[in-house]
Chain A
């Protein structure tokens, strides 16, 4: 990874929500780097803090009840957490763009697709009028929307799910951001449409030398698209590695269990392996290693139940947070 410059570096990020039920520590001491021009995947189940991490990067956490309580987010060397709201607005949508899971709720239903793309272009690049509209049509062509001159005049409800996601991508890319955060971009789509959108993202990434932070729960999507993977469980990073070593030799019991529990095409088993129990509630995380109640080792080990293992590099480029992981120094 050394030949690539680090575009974004998240260091010890902690985001908490102060609710009536107590403090929900949604993200705790999360650190990872996104090298320039890489696709990095942030994987985890619902409630593990992956979306909160991405919203923290853009400082879009609703405050109150949420608050970034610690850490640094270095983007091209400057700490985003120290910027004024004014400066931050210039970065959002311009240097860092985001696309969301459900394109219908993130597009404004009362404006045409064109209107919404032109708004981003004129706001961030100062291009107005016909030139901005031409650019919008250009962007729609780039993301593979047929008949863009007509589509640009249409409202979100007139487009299908896959096309709305393409329009969202067009909008996000209209200002040529250097980082695109894609929060479950294909979860709401069918597999054949998902394949189209993933191909498109990969193609655009190569053309524009853009970095992508892909947030997903689908390990299949990760294996096929990402170069580096960060696995989160219950607010923390439990493992991070390049995609080959993560899938080839996962070290954390959670990652191992997750990979074993997947039904795979062409590999028939009588029963699926199971991770017992359920994802813990952020208001009441278990003590020690947060995975211990569901872990085959941790359930019996008092050390796991009492002490939280910090993330440690066990091999160049492969870090894991488990007392019993291969190569972990206790």
Chain B
């Protein structure tokens, strides 16, 4: 990757949740939510992480911030190993890495005022208090397009889009460098979505933020990200620059995902690959390539051999050995 410095690097990250059963609560298996994921994010850029529900994209985001313990792997943030960092020393790192959530209703405490919600991080990290804190909160509220008069109100007084702005303000309060955006626009109305997407882009430009943008909407991801990783069942199946991924998708899953999106244009008729079946359970993933039971191009070898991410073109990795044969269909 060219000159831009890498801010976050993830190597072979695994997050497995034990399945416990019976009176003795014995572990009978593992849900392999994240099963060997590697990627890196450059400073000041956006990596889009796309996939369907249950593919592990949210778990990746949470594991990076150590909200969920990782099973194995390595996460390096600005040269510092995060996973082996003792919990007591995580606090200074946490102010540099923040998170935004999908549900603007569930993610704000209904009993706290906007000032307390946005300012809590400032108090916890000892950045500001009293008058100073109030000034900082007002400043951030204005930065995200809310009036400073809102500081004394409660979350229920706001619409979904405004609440999401409060969520952004909370994340920004402690001057982070890196923000995990977990489906920040999917719960919003169409006319509000574009407002929030533009706001995120403006803030990135102004503050030099780095985003990990988790979403299932490929059109939004195309708009906001420079790099895109497509996940399926705990693994990254394709990883490429935006231009590469959208003009030349290689993996059959990416191809079908792109073809499944309905276009808001009745003139446009496009060939659609309708996948059979559903996403298998991550507790019991299929052998070989995880995608083979749904893949229209699968053959015997796909059922046996695991697929690794391999370089297929410039700025383009995919985990499919048949990629060259499927080609540009």
Which A residues are within 8 Å of any B CB, using their own CB?
A: 45-46, 160-163, 190-196, 198-199, 217-225, 243-244, 247-248, 257-259, 261-266, 268-269, 271-276, 278-279, 294
Contacts and interface: CB of A to CB of B under 8 A. Distances in A.
Contacts, number: 125
B24 interface: no
Contact of B264 (A163, A190, A262, A276): A262
Interface string B189-203: 111111101100100
A45 B191 CA distance: 8
Contacts of B72: none
B191 A258 contact: yes
A96 B267 CA distance: 31
Nearest to A224: B262
Interface string B213-240: 0001011101100000000000000000
B159 A279 contact: yes
Contact of A271 (B160, B201, B218, B222): B201
A247 B266 contact: yes
Interface residues of A, dominant DSSP:
helix
B190 A219 contact: yes
Interface in B156-205: 159-162, 189-195, 197-198, 201
Nearest to B259: A195
Interface stretch (B1-9, B79-87, B273-281): B273-281
A230 to B, nearest CB: 15
Interface of B is mostly: helix
A223 B264 contact: yes
A265 B218 contact: yes
A216 to B, nearest CB: 10
B287 interface: no
B262 A275 contact: no
**Which of A160, A220, A224 gathers the greatest number of chain B CB atoms within 10 Å?**
A224
A195 B272 contact: yes
Given A265-B218, A279-B191, A191 B260 contact: yes
Contacts of B321: none
B263 interface: yes
A274 B264 contact: no
Contact of B274 (A196, A218, A258, A262): A196
24 contacts: A191-B218, A191-B257, A193-B278, A194-B262, A195-B274, A217-B190, A220-B264, A223-B263, A223-B265, A224-B266, A243-B266, A244-B266, A247-B266, A258-B190, A261-B190, A263-B194, A265-B219, A265-B222, A265-B258, A272-B197, A272-B223, A274-B195, A275-B194, A276-B195
B261 interface: yes
A36 B228 CA distance: 45
Given A266-B246, A274-B195, A274-B198, A223 B266 contact: yes
B193 A261 contact: yes
Contacts of B274: 192, 195-196, 199
B109 interface: no
A192 B275 contact: yes
Contacts of B272: 195
Contacts of A221: 262
Contacts of A222: 264
A278 B262 contact: no
B52 A192 contact: yes
Contacts of A279: 159, 189, 191-192
Nearest to B224: A263
Interface in B239-290: 246, 256-258, 260-267, 272, 274-275, 278-279
B265 A247 contact: yes
A218 B261 CA distance: 11
Contacts of B201: 271
Contacts of A268: 222-223
B159 A278 contact: yes
Given A265-B246, A279-B159, A218 B223 contact: no
Contacts of B160: 46
A177 B214 CA distance: 41
B282 to A, nearest CB: 13
B102 to A, nearest CB: 14
Nearest to A242: B266
A261 B264 contact: no
Contacts of B222: 263, 265-266, 268
A195 B276 CA distance: 10
